[in-house]
Amino acid sequence: MHTWLVVACAALLATLAAAQKPGRFLSLPVPQKCANRPKEFFYRGHNYFYSGHVPELAKRKVDWLDGRNICREYCMDLVSMETQEENNLIFKLIQQNDVPYIWTSGRLCDFKGCESRKDLEPKNIFGWFWSANREKMAPTNQIPNGWGYNPWSQTGHKKQRQPDNAEFDINGTSESCMSVLNNVYNDGIAWHDVACYHEKPVVCEDSEELLNYVASTNPGIRL
């Protein structure tokens, strides 16, 4: 757990290293926005929303870091699906609303601070985590504990199972961010590694860390 936290700090730097444009940072929460954040559905103590259902965000498609920052201003972060039940809710949202794709908080640990982590090798199997809470993901080639299926797609650009880092083979751009794609490769709704610069709508999920921070620094605020 503690070693993972080291990576956690590095994750903040990582977003910088990974960004094409220099000087990009994670946004701080905006108390007023946190108090009035969109709440589309509620599951196990967390609120969620799809950006396509929020009038002021409905037309926006953003890269992965901007996606995190849209959510973070609301005391949320990109969605993390640690359980099959939660994943099913997100898949249902995508299916019922015909959403083509979304960003999640899934991220490959391929930035500064990750090099020395032998436990994350090989990266395509052991190197993925949820950046919203820094929880490690199950090995990508296995059905996660407690799940009935492997959420990573069995196919993609190279007709290989995901993650396949396909864009790296095309032009050297790593597929370091995790998206849920809706049948883009005739593969149903499934997880894919995708280059972080692509622009997509987002699903945001409450961040306990940011909500606690805003609650403790704004006495009396109702979140």
Ligand X SMILES: *[C@@H]1O[C@H](CO)[C@@H](O)[C@H](O)[C@H]1NC(C)=O
Phi/psi of residue 21, nearest 5 degrees: -85, 135
CB 10 within 8 A of CB 114: yes
77 binds, among ligand X, Ca ion, none (CB under 5 to 8 A by kind): none
Least Å distance between CB 128 and ligand X?
22
Least Å distance between CB 103 and ligand X?
17
206 binds, among Ca ion, ligand X, none (CB under 5 to 8 A by kind): none
The answer to whether 166 contacts Ca ion (rule: CB under 5 A) is yes
Pick out residues in 191-210 that bind Ca ion (CB under 5 A): 192-193
192 binds, among ligand X, Ca ion, none (CB under 5 to 8 A by kind): Ca ion
The answer to whether 164 contacts Ca ion (rule: CB under 5 A) is yes
Positions that interact with ligand X (CB under 6 A): 167, 170-171, 173
Q: Which residues contact 25 (CB under 8 A, 6 or more apart)?
A: 15, 16
CB 7 within 8 A of CB 114: yes
| CA–CA gap between residue 121 and residue 123 (Å, rounded) | 5
Bridging pattern class, strands 177-182 and 41-43: unpaired
User: What is the radius of gyration, based on Cα positions, of the chain?
Assistant: 17
Least Å distance between CB 167 and ligand X?
6
Options 33-41, 73-81, 137-145, 156-164: segment touching Ca ion (CB under 5 A)? 156-164
Least Å distance between CB 177 and ligand X?
14
| CA–CA gap between residue 133 and residue 121 (Å, rounded) | 21
Residue ranges in contact with Ca ion by CB under 5 A: 156, 164, 166, 175, 192-193
